[in-house]
Structure 1
Amino acid sequence: MRLVRRPRRCLPRGGRRVPDLLDRPQGDPQGSRPGLDGGRLPLPRPAHVAPERGHQRPHGPGRVARQRHGPEGGGRRGHRHAGPRGQPSARPRAVGCRPRSPRHHGGGHVAPRRRRLTHLRALAATLRPVTHRVRFAPSPTGYLHVGSARTALFNWLHARSTGGTFVLRIEDTDAERNRPELTEALLAELEWLGLDWDEAPYYQSEHRDRHREVVEDLLARGLAYLCDADDEEVDGTTLSDGLAARFRMPEGRTVVFDDVVRGEVSFDTSDLEDFVIWRSNGSPMFLLANAVDDADMGITHAIRGEDLLSGVPKVLLLLDAMGAPHPTYAHLPLLVNESRQKLSKRRDDVAVGDFRERGYLPEAMVNYLALLGWGPPDDVEVRPVSEIVDLFRIEDVNKAAAFFDLRKLEHVNATHLRGLAKPDFIERAGPWLAEAPWAPERFDADVFDRMVDLVQEKLRTLGDVVRFVDFLFLDDPVDDPESWQKVMVDGPVAAEMLDGAAGALADCPWEVEAVKEAVFTVGEGLGLKLGKAQAPVRVAVTGRTVGPPLFETMAECMERSEVLRRIDVARARL
């Protein structure tokens, strides 16, 4: 079957050619496709093309009327686009058409070329702008990887920024590797990220009969063949247990397509093998199911990872064999680690669920993932998701590999954390506080409320909350051997500093500046600057060398007696 690509004539600017009118096999009846019995079946109208108002010659609204001027009907003819109730309406400007000649053809005759223009303009007037339809199609064989999450996000961003439709399709045709709990986890992570879908979720396994129908049609038309376990071709066209089916690769062809990210890409079919489209166990292969489902669901844009680029020519050949339109492809750059190696589930920290459990905010995760291959035109990287939607264009994605930088992710997350309103921060910290090591009755909500003002600016993740406040709700501070060794054993004059601080803090006003001045004065007498002077007091009171502001914590969130008790315990240990 030879496809004839007809010239594009007079379609509205930004419009889409109607495949069953302009791109059908030579000699085929308009709007039909090969049937399973060799006859013709009507082509399904893609979901993304608006239905026409009948196929009869246009009349009424949208009709191009020809009128004569003057009582004798002579002179120059005028044309207008009749709108509702006979009022003029705007007509889409045609692309590639020269202005109409005012020359009179005489006798009311309309030249053949003008008749074609009139018909195509009327047809174009019945079409509405194409709605972009994208899909995220994960396989439930593992947890959601940051690379897959980035793919889902870019599809979602494209749909939201263009007013399109985001479809979720679970590609679960590999029954041996699929696990239902992984499907549930995958859906939960997408919901956590806020990537809501418009249609869904579809399960590819539910369309197996449709996949089988297409394979049987390809076999019947000689475009595919059966093969046995030794990959030897077997006579016949009927699918049966133990036999697989391969697509017959055409010879001497070059498959060319324009990728939004990578530009023009071409493959020579002589470099491609006859590929399996149906397994011997009675299930479709990924490429076949992917092509059929994309066509049936009217997917207009396939936005996915660069690792799937090599499969595109095979999918396009399948779509051609089915008489289906090609989607627009955009292959996103690979994600790499600090060694510039492709991210690996076995080697790298890549599971979205792990970041969620460690206390990363979903909006921060989305913000950072959006920067992996794309950048805002104003170079402001940390921003709300709504602004990213407004700025995102799939055409701005670059093809260079993107470095998944954990430190930058922490920075983005910390910035979003600092931007949370205090009630929102306290609510989000709740799950981590509920699993903290202190007894529930020792937790003081008022004290924690005051501590939020001191620690929110310092946190990198919500998972850090407990470490910054646990000493307030435990009987004794956490024993951190590394901190004790560094400050109390290896540090200078720790015992003298604790002795002096205990005496100074026993009598000073219990206010932030007074507490700070008391510790500073003791340290100054020992030849220590404030940073060195406060270190033994910090370890004695909190158990760690790093934590919230020390003097504000002691004066505003702790009783003087408790501070002095802890200093005495630490001094006795020395």
Structure 2
Amino acid sequence: MESNVRVRFAPSPTGPLHIGGVRTALFNYLFAKQHGGTFILRVEDTDQNRFVEGAEAYIIEALDWLGIPYDEGPERPGTKGPYRQSERRDIYRAYAEKLLATGWAYYAFDTPESLEHHRKEHESKGKTFIYNWHNREKLDNALTLSSEALQSRLAQGDPYVIRFKWPVDQVLVLEDLIRGSIRIDTNLLDDKVLFKSDGMPTYHLANIVDDHLMAISHVIRGEEWLPSLALHVQLYKAFGWEPPQFAHLPLILKPTGKGKLSKRDGEKLGFPVFPLSWKESQGYREAGFLPEAVLNFLAMLGWNPGTEQELFSKEELIAQFSLERVQKSGARFDPEKNKWFNHHYLQARPLESLLPEFRQELSRLLPDAGPFEDAYLHRVLGLIRERASFLWEACEAGRYFFEAPATYDEKAVKKQWKPETPDRLQAVAEVLSVLDEFSGERAEAAVKEWIAASGLGFGQVMPPLRLVLVGAMQGPHIFDIMELLGKGETLSRIERAIAVLGTTQG
């Protein structure tokens, strides 16, 4: 049996997709998949003045990269299209005229200059101008015109908009799946424009008509749309339609917890706010985040499972997600926690699946190095990824596996390089050079045997040995490094360090 759950993500193609929009898309996707329903992408491009070339393709690519592709939408048509509002413009006028015919809407001829005059006049008295029941019959609209006068003005082509006509002295009781019952006094609401003078609907009319015609069962959207809920529910009633169920998601807050997260916060604190890069702004993909990590940390922004569990696969999220466990209050964005999620997923990924991206990062960091066999990259990555949260971090931390150190950490040299160090390392090189089988295990046994026979401590040999191979006091087990570098490269690095540092006093 086909599910009647149909949800939509309806962004405007006015620029890159903010991470808050991605969270909205994710929650819609999870809800749809949990109920065996349909996830729809509808592009709300009625405002052609703000349309940005490439924004729609960006949105689609971002959803696909994250692994939350839409079922119906542009380029993936279902039976309820088209899915761009600009391609549906002929639909809306008929519905605006239905509202006019039933008295739920009226023509308004007020010029922008006239409305601006009223706003300034109200401001001068410390008031706010609202176009509604208390003044609409004093303004330039059909409510004050005879039928003949109205037809005359329409016939002569006077510019107009169509406004919604709110009933007076009513209290609306609205239901939200997250916030419960909400009471609204209709006397406080303004008569919103539903149809503009350019022949295009506003968001409010197009949104309701499209949701109805696309059989949307649940509208899951951001908290910023909560003030529009009364109008949207009332429009459904005006048309005689059954409204969908509504759920308004909490805001995503700045890392400080105060105010809505913005692009500026990301620029200031050095973290992405877009899923993919857009012009000069880096995206999560390009910053090295894995899509499964992004999904996981976004799911935890405003939703919790009611347990201590924090790590969820997409399948687990689909199984456990519920609107009942979405919080009302804002969710603080934590860039450091996001890195923690990425660290986990980087460690959990099979090494083989990371090799193409690792090779790509390596070619970016060291364009002249290589080429390297997959088997070598596999072994290197297995040694260095444990401490990394990103592949690029692993590349930078493990660059000594791909090129000999050009310099040596000054603090380490000062601490580890003694007058007697060159002779000791020369002796180590001689021990290693005679090994027939050069493995980490054989090299470790031979060097430790020489250290014991020489009466030296490990601290007198091993740290300088690490320094000459790595260039700093970091990295995995020193003999694992040797095995990967091979005998020739290991001996070459020892010889070069002795030549460069010589008898430098530590």
Indicate whether the TM-score tops 0.5: yes
Q: Which position in structure 2 is the counterpart of 1:554?
A: 482
Q: Which position in structure 2 is the counterpart of 1:300?
A: 217
Q: Which position in structure 1 is the counterpart of 2:122?
A: none
2: CA distance, partners of 1:573 / 1:266 = 83
1:227-266 matches, cutoff 5 A: 227-229=110-112, 230-231=114-115, 232-235=139-142, 236=150, 238=154, 242-266=159-183
TM-score of the superposed pair, with normalisation by structure 1: 0.69
What SS does structure 2 have at the residue aligned with 1:151?
helix
Amino acid at match of 1:258: E
Deviation per residue, 1:522-552 (Å, 9 max, x gap): 89x999985x986665454334555454442
Q: 2:295 aligns with which of 359, 363, 366?
A: 366
1: CA distance, partners of 2:255 / 2:457 = 40
Q: Which position in structure 2 is the counterpart of 1:223?
A: 104
Q: Which position in structure 1 is the counterpart of 2:318?
A: 389
2: CA distance, partners of 1:143 / 1:284 = 24
1:191-230 matches, cutoff 5 A: 191-201=64-74, 202-224=83-105, 225-226=107-108, 227-229=110-112, 230=114
Q: Which position in structure 2 is the counterpart of 1:139?
A: 12
Q: Which position in structure 1 is the counterpart of 2:428?
A: 505
Amino acid at match of 1:487: A
What SS does structure 2 have at the residue aligned with 1:347?
helix
1:527-566 matches, cutoff 5 A: 537-544=465-472, 546-559=474-487, 560-566=490-496
For structure 2, list consecutive stretches of 5 or more residues without a partner in the other structure: 75-82, 116-138, 143-149, 267-271, 277-282, 433-437
Deviation per residue, 1:248-275 (Å, 9 max, x gap): 2222122222211111112212222121
| C-alpha contact 2:355 2:374 (8 A) present in aligned 1 | no
| C-alpha contact 2:220 2:248 (8 A) present in aligned 1 | yes
Q: Does 1:149 align with 2:27?
A: no
Aligned residues: percent identity? 33
Deviation at 1:151, TM superposition (A): 0.6
For structure 1, list consecutive stretches of 5 or more residues without a partner in the other structure: 1-127
Deviation per residue, 1:426-472 (Å, 9 max, x gap): 23434323434232654343322221221232221223242133333
Deviation per residue, 1:170-194 (Å, 9 max, x gap): 1111111112311111100100011
Q: Which position in structure 2 is the counterpart of 1:61?
A: none
Larger Rg: 1
| C-alpha contact 2:96 2:194 (8 A) present in aligned 1 | yes
Q: Which position in structure 1 is the counterpart of 2:334?
A: 405
| C-alpha contact 2:256 2:332 (8 A) present in aligned 1 | no
1:386/1:242 Cα in 2 relative to 1: closer, same or farther (>3 Å)? same
Q: Which position in structure 2 is the counterpart of 1:477?
A: 405
Q: 2:275 aligns with which of 332, 352, 357?
A: 352
What SS does structure 2 have at the residue aligned with 1:142?
coil
1: CA distance, partners of 2:395 / 2:492 = 20
Amino acid at match of 1:189: A
Q: Does 1:439 align with 2:320?
A: no
| C-alpha contact 2:365 2:396 (8 A) present in aligned 1 | no
| C-alpha contact 2:28 2:220 (8 A) present in aligned 1 | yes
What's the C-alpha RMSD, in Å, of the aligned pairs?
3.2
Amino acid at match of 2:111: D
Q: Pick 1 or 2: higher relative contact order, CA cutoff 8 A, min separation 6.
A: 2
What SS does structure 1 have at the residue aligned with 2:86?
helix
What SS does structure 2 have at the residue aligned with 1:258?
strand
Q: Does 1:336 align with 2:261?
A: no
TM-score of the superposed pair, with normalisation by structure 2: 0.78
2: CA distance, partners of 1:368 / 1:520 = 50
Q: Which position in structure 1 is the counterpart of 2:354?
A: 425
1: CA distance, partners of 2:386 / 2:215 = 48
Amino acid at match of 1:352: P
Q: Which position in structure 2 is the counterpart of 1:58?
A: none
What SS does structure 2 have at the residue aligned with 1:170?
coil
Deviation at 1:139, TM superposition (A): 0.9
Q: Which position in structure 2 is the counterpart of 1:93?
A: none
Amino acid at match of 2:415: P
Amino acid at match of 2:183: S
| C-alpha contact 2:343 2:388 (8 A) present in aligned 1 | yes
